[in-house]
Amino acid sequence: MDPSGSDHEHDISTEISDGKRVVSEMDFFANNAHRSDFSTANTVEKESLELPETRLQFNTGLNLLTPHSGAGNSSSIVNDGPFKCIKDHHKRRRDELAVLQAEVDRIYVENQRLRGMLNQVNNNYNSLHMHLVVLLQGQNNNLKPLVMKTESETVNEASEGPRKNHGGGEAVERQFMDPGRSEIGDVDDHSLPTSEEERSLGCCISPTNIVESMDTQNKSLKSSSTVPFDLKQIERDNRRHGRDNEGSKQAFVGCLPPSKVPKFDSSKDVDEQKEETMSMIRKARVQVRARTEASMSSDGCQWRKYGQKLAKGNPCPRAYYRCTMATGCPVRKQVQRCAEDRTILMTTYEGHHNHPLPPAALSMASTTAAAAAMLLSGSTTSSADHGIMSSNTLARTLFSGPSSFATLSASAPFPTVTLDLTHSPSNRPHAHHHQLGHSPNFHHNFTSLSLPHAFGQSQNGQFKVSGLLGSQSHPQIDLSHQLAPIQAQMSPPADTVSAAAASLTSDPNFTAALLAAISSVIGNVGTANNNCKDSPIIRSSTSIDNNT
DNA sequence: CGTGTTTGACCTGCGC
DNA sequence: GCGCAGGTCAAACACG
């Protein structure tokens, strides 16, 4: 054996090339040999690199080869795989984003296109509406002499309305001649009324119709033994009021004093409940508060003063008036100035007329029962849409006024609608009355409300809209917020109120109640807008308070 | 003279 | 039962 270890080692090292010496290379000088004879090592490595199996074992010690990877590209797979995955993922995301972006762009374009269409439709509608308003104004101007007609002539016209008027008279006839048709439940929910239909519909759901249709039930009830009120009292009062015909009796039933009005009782049958409701409805009142210098507002009816009293708590006397347009008409009204603000005239209407009315007074007359019916039932068969639609124009007119405040109250003793039409003196359009030939002393706000639309007066945009809605079972609901959009969109004034009204409240019955009541109270305004021949029936009162 | 208003008396309901 | 307040009546009055 070679005594020199180096030799031995060398020998061993020389055996590397044979495959058996590799181990000996790792001996003492192994590192040096690697460092000093890098070429040798490289050679060895080169040789080993030429062997795929050896290389695999050497390079990684990890089995990174996938079954799908060939030996030739195994290196690239091991080094670039994760990055490419991320890259692909990002690319996919980019593609998706691009698709989404394209979709958004497409939707945006579509939206713009639809918006344009909507604007066009709105513009068309507005132009058509303005055209209609212009036409109506033109007709109003042609018919202005009607303003100077007498009340009796007006009544005659109302009576002949179906032949002479454009629907308003028809509505009158319907209301008074065919109550059976006009039950609110008969109204077709799905038909959108045209202008004529709108009036008729308004008439159909009018309280007078409710009352008269239920008067039929009164007759049958009277013939039965279940009459829930004191017939003796009725007879006595009947004699007292000089009413002797059946119609008067019917009418008088509605004038039962509060104590005779039956209370609601769940144990009573439906007919009785209806009867009781009717009594309440007929007894319902409408109070109109208006800032006026006249002693009495002109409402289209003829009144005779039958008494005057000093009511407690108010230094201003209360005057009592009775409708004299027909014998035995049960309608009364009280006129009194507000104690707090004597410029405010409070007019309270009660009962319903038993005779045809001039259009100017038609809606006013029907207010009482309408309001009460809405208030008391809260579940009338008329839909909210009816109220809104039938009151559409009327509500527009009301809400376009400088200030309006409507309150429905079913508090005892009578359901009462209080319509506050007072507004600041600075907004009072005095000139309108002179222009129309009215008495200079007549400053009823009905006319100020009606004039801008009916006669094309410009509006200054200083509108305030507010409203309260409530009843016995429903606390007052402040509609100010809901009505605010109306105020904001008053130009043009016509199209916004109905839309806003449609979204007034989640309780459609009360929306309808409000609109019906308001429209009834100022129905002459709405009639003026809708029916040109009937429109200008606005005249000064025949009764001037000497105290003022 | 007819129509509408005034006004004191009367009736009625309600609260005490 | 009494008093009060709201509502109504009807005679007297005013007016055109």
Confidence of residue A116 (pLDDT cuts 50, 70, 90): confident
Pairing mode, strands A344-350 and A332-337: antiparallel
Global pTM reads 0.39
Q: Which residues from the 291-310 window of protein chain A have CB within 7 angstroms of nucleic acid chain C?
A: 306-309
A313 beta carbon < 7 A from strand C?
yes
A332 beta carbon < 7 A from strand C?
yes
Q: What is the 3-state secondary structure (H, E, C) of A38-87?
A: HHHHHHHHHHHHCCHHHHHHHHCCCCCCCCCCCCCCHHHHHHHHHHHHHH
* pLDDT at residue A101, rounded to an integer: 84
Alpha helices by DSSP H, listed for A243-324, are 246-253, 270-283
Q: Which residues from the 232-271 window of protein chain A have CB within 7 angstroms of nucleic acid chain C?
A: 240-241, 255
Average of per-residue pLDDT values in chain A:
48
Q: Which two tokens stand for residue A366?
A: 């029907």
Rounded CA gap, A160 and A149, in Å? 15
* pLDDT at residue A109, rounded to an integer: 79
Tell me the CA–C1' distance in angstroms for A304 and B3: 10
Confidence of residue A325 (pLDDT cuts 50, 70, 90): confident
* pLDDT at residue A129, rounded to an integer: 60
Give tens-digit pLDDT for A123-157.
666 666 666 655 655 554 443 333 333 333 333 33
Which range, of A46-60, A238-252, A443-457, averages the lowest pLDDT? A443-457
A295 nearest nucleotide via C1' and CA:
B5
Which range, of A301-310, A418-427, A514-523, averages the lowest pLDDT? A514-523
* pLDDT at residue A277, rounded to an integer: 55
Tell me the CA–C1' distance in angstroms for A45 and C14: 141
Closest CA to A215 of A239, A238, A248: A248
Residue nearest to nucleotide B13 (CA to C1'): A259
Tell me the CA–C1' distance in angstroms for A26 and B5: 141
Tokens 């222009």 found at: A435
Protein-covered nucleotides on strand C (Cβ within 7 A) = 4-10
Which range, of A154-158, A246-250, A402-406, A449-453, averages the lowest pLDDT? A449-453
Rounded CA gap, A360 and A168, in Å? 10
Residue nearest to nucleotide C6 (CA to C1'): A311
pLDDT at A400 > cutoff 50:
no
Position with higher pLDDT, A79 vs A388: A79
pLDDT at A336 > cutoff 50:
yes
> What value does the mean pLDDT take over residues A438-455?
25
Residue nearest to nucleotide C10 (CA to C1'): A306
Q: Of A23-32, A90-99, A203-212, which one has max mean pLDDT? A: A90-99
> What value does the mean pLDDT take over residues A353-371?
63
Q: Which two tokens stand for residue A213?
A: 């249709």
A307 nearest nucleotide via C1' and CA:
C8
Protein-covered nucleotides on strand B (Cβ within 7 A) = 4-9, 12-14
Tell me the CA–C1' distance in angstroms for A361 and B9: 34
Confidence of residue A269 (pLDDT cuts 50, 70, 90): low
Cα first-last separation, chain A: 151
Tell me the CA–C1' distance in angstroms for A54 and B5: 132
Provide, rounded to the nearest whole percent, the portion of chain A with pLDDT above 70: 19
* pLDDT at residue A108, rounded to an integer: 81
Give tens-digit pLDDT for A156-214.
333 333 333 333 333 333 333 333 333 333 333 333 333 333 333 333 333 333 333 33
> What value does the mean pLDDT take over residues A56-77?
38
A285 beta carbon < 7 A from strand C?
no
The DSSP string of A304-345 is EEEEEEE-TT-SSEEEEEEE-SSTT---EEEEEE-SS-TTEE
Residue nearest to nucleotide C4 (CA to C1'): A312
Burial class (CB in 10 A: 0-12, 13-18, 19+), A535: buried
Tell me the CA–C1' distance in angstroms for A302 and C12: 23
